[in-house]
Amino acid sequence: MSESIDNQTPPSGGRGAHVCLTPALLPLFSVEEYIVVVIDVFRATSSICYGIENGAEAIIPVSQVEECAAYREKGLDYLLAAERDGKVVDGFDFGNSPFSYTAEKVAGKTVVLTTTNGTHALHLSRAAKKIVIGSFLNLTALSDWLKTQNDNVLLVCAGWKNNFNLEDTLFAGAVTDQLKTDGYVLDDAALAANDLYQLGKHDINDYLKKTSHGERLKKLGIQKDIDFCLQVDIATAIPVLDGERLVKLQQ
């Protein structure tokens, strides 16, 4: 249709809670007008939240195993996390399983994490007022902090190779669910994400079982990781981007 009204900018009155369903849609949003929440629940942003919660000094997300390896060559004392096809790549410290991000392993350390979809979403969001990291692990802490900010929120689903996925959308709907009671104006994608969350919230694991991606992850033998990533509110730390490093947000 040709009606010339734009729906991709925040509302002029009040705060908007908008959902960008995949990084491919980010160019449609004026990201500089938002606090961006990057979401990649299986497993990058869950591992990041858990690692920062457990005292990691910083987590540096990179998109390629080669970039990750380059940090070792710099001679710095970083932990390097990279996996392919569900297995830790030879010569790296660990993979993307959240179980690798315990206090014993990461406290006081800087971790370089290889995450294609998550890094892509982060890079495209560079111009945002602030970029924070969300997962079911820190759902309420994140939502509560967002509500204290007088800003529009853009929930960016990392998705799968630029396409839509259900698990990230469901989490966007979970955040929307907490924000909507606080007067945020929702866009269509936020309304849809929230409705999907209503359908799935009583048993998110069961709801996601029907997805193709869930099927694939199961085949990779990481069902334990998935169960872990779907735990709600076991963390209160909010990772925030500072330069190229994700660190704990100081409130």
Binding site for a copy of itself (CB under 8 A): 1-8, 21-22, 24-25, 28, 40, 42-44, 65, 82-86, 96, 114-118, 160-166, 169, 185, 187-189, 191-192, 195-196, 199, 210-213, 216-217, 220
CB atoms inside a 10 Å sphere around CB 156: 31
Shortest reach from residue 108's CB to a copy of itself, in Å: 26
Q: Which residues are paired to 177 by β-bridges?
A: none
Shortest reach from residue 239's CB to a copy of itself, in Å: 17
CA atoms within 13 A on the CB side of 32: 1
Q: At what angle do helices 139-148 and 166-179 cross, to 10 degrees?
A: 50
CA atoms within 13 A on the CB side of 242: 11
Nearest to a copy of itself of 196, 232 (CB atom): 196
Nearest to a copy of itself of 53, 187 (CB atom): 187
The helix/strand count (H/E) of the chain reads as: 10, 12
| CA 51 – CA 109 distance, rounded (Å) | 10
Nearest to a copy of itself of 103, 223 (CB atom): 223
Nearest to a copy of itself of 18, 249 (CB atom): 18
